[in-house]
Structures are given as structure tokens and as C-alpha cells.
Amino acid sequence: MALTQVKSDSNSLMRPQPPAPVGVFDSGIGGLSILRALRAELPNERFIYLSDSAHAPYGERGDAFVNDRCFAITQQLREQHGIKALVIACNTATAAAIHNLRTAHPDLPLIGIEPAVKPAVALSQTRHIGVMATRGTADSTKFQTLLSHLQAQSQEPIRFTVQACDGLAAAIESQNATKIRALLADYTSAMGRFGNQKNDMDTLVLGCTHYALAIAPLRSLVGNAVQVVDNGPAVARQTRRLLASTHQLASCSAQHDEAGQTNAGTLQLLATGDSMALVNAAAHWL
């Protein structure tokens, strides 16, 4: 369901067409944390954000199901909206489908995400890093391989405490503050001690895009001494690099409609489920 409509008429073929948009999708509102970083890094780009809320959350679905949804969404965004690049704003979807999507769409620049454990290793002083993720991400071969690779590369021992946070993405999706707080308290308690002393977790990686939308209650539980790492800014920088390398970066001067108004920075919202939930979330987080 389109939440904003693009109007057209018979004269549109005579007007300069705006540059193609960048597609962004997630199982729900979590990817808005990535979209926020993308819009800050690329203010001249047009974006289309699709929330697959009718099938959320991906993190508690099987790989085959998530892979099918990713293929359907990619096809829709290409055929109906002519996207020039696609950001998969979901750790679970990236792990399940990005390699297959790259094979099926070799001409489409694809940007996936993964938990920001590599930058967390560089930040941590205690060498003990916590990771909160969906079960789909935590159990994925791609993620486990990443952790093993980083541990093998490290010149000194490094410890990861990984917590699968069942139900947390769904609670954030429904914006249930009481449940969000309760689940965060349960999961952070189960992980162990946070802080900057020996053996403490001094760095916490948010392995689901939804979790960045609950940063305030999470911060109150782990304390200000802990560095909380999400991957929004890094994804935005990679998207800029990829668009630049393919000569597809939008320039503000090139985007004007028939009234002379700029088209830079426009956003279209799409949802497969509750459209008002996405509208309200976007109004709040963007």
C-alpha cells in the first residue's frame, strides 16, 4: 500500500524526469533507523521505504521465508518504482538473502547490513563485547563466521556475549513502551555485567535495526560508560561510496519539477500491513 502517491499526467513526458530513487526495506519500522542515517548522509537523494509489516518480524522466521520476501520486494521496487540501488535495512534479511539477490540482480547495487561487531572490536577496551540480535541473525552461519573471523584476527583474546532477543523487535514495532522496557531489562540482565572494569562488557552492538529505536531505555539499563554501536552511519557511507562509484549520486541542481521546486530529499513510504503505524513511526523518528 502506498502511503504517498506520485501523481502523473499526459504532460509528464515533456518534463525532465527526476533521478531514480534509492529503495530501502525492512520487515517493519526498524529500518527507519537506517533511513534516518541515509537521509543525513545523502540529502539530495530520493528514497522509497518499504515496510513489510504484514510479514514481520523477519528475525523469528525461517531463511526460506525471508529469502522469498526479499525477492518479491526487490522485484516490486524495481518494476514499479525503478530504483537505482537497494538498501536491505535488516540484518536477518541480509544474512538470508543478499548473496542470492546479487546473483539474481547483478546490475542492481545492493547494500546489506550486518551487526557492527568489527568497529566494536576497535572500540572495546575490556575486550568483552555484547551483541543483541534477533534469533535469525544470532543463529545465522554468516554471523557466526564473522565472529570467528574477528576472533582469529585479533592479536589479543576477545569475547563476544550474544543475546537472541525474542519478541523485542515486535514490541518496538507495536511501540509498546512497557513491554520494550521489560524485555530489555530481561535480556541485558541475562547477558551479564556492563561497565568499564575488567571482564565487563564495555561495548554493546545493536544487531537489529529496530533496537536503535529503543536506545533511551536501553541506555538507562546499561549505563553511560558503555559504548552502544549501531550500523546506520556506516551503511549510509557505504551507500554514498557505491552510488558515487556507479556515477549515480543525485545532485540538488538536477532535481526540479515543473514549478521549479526541488525534488531533492523526497521520501515515499510503502507498507504491506498497517500503513498508519508506519506513518506515525516515520513522523516520530524522521
Peptide bond into 57 cis (omega under 30): yes
Q: Does residue 117 have a pLDDT over 80?
A: yes
The yes-or-no answer on residue 90 being catalytic is: yes
Does the pLDDT at position 264 exceed 70?
A: no
Same domain, residue pair 215 and 204: yes
Q: Looking at the structure, do residues 201 and 122 belong to the same domain, yes or no?
A: yes
The verdict on residue 6 lying in a domain is no
d(CA 283, CA 9): 29
Which of 229, 257, 277 is the last residue before a domain boundary? 229
208 catalytic, yes or no?
A: yes
pLDDT band, very low/low/confident/very high, at 255 (cuts 50, 70, 90): very low
For residue 76, give the 3-state DSSP assignment: helix
105 CB-contact burial (10 Å; exposed 0-12 / middle 13-18 / buried 19+):
middle
Question: What's the CATH code of the domain at 139?
Answer: 3.40.50.1860
Task: Determine which one of 70, 90, 165, 252 is catalytic.
Answer: 90
| Tens-digit pLDDT profile for residues 160-179 | 999 999 999 989 988 899 99
Confidence of residue 17 (pLDDT cuts 50, 70, 90): low
Residue 14 has a pLDDT of: 45
**Shortest CA distance to 186 belongs to which of 198, 200, 171, 199?**
171
Asked if residue 95 is part of any domain, the answer here is yes
Beta pairing partners, 87? 24, 111
Decide if 16 is inside a domain. Answer: no
Q: Indicate which residue of 70, 165, 208, 252 is catalytic.
A: 208
Do residues 125 and 225 share a domain?
yes
Number of compact structural domains in the chain: 2
Task: Output the pTM of the full model.
Answer: 0.83
Q: What is the pLDDT of residue 180?
A: 97
59 with 193, same domain: the answer is: no
Q: Do 176 and 270 belong to one domain?
A: no
pLDDT at position 19 is 82
Cell numbers that stand for 274 in this block: 498497517
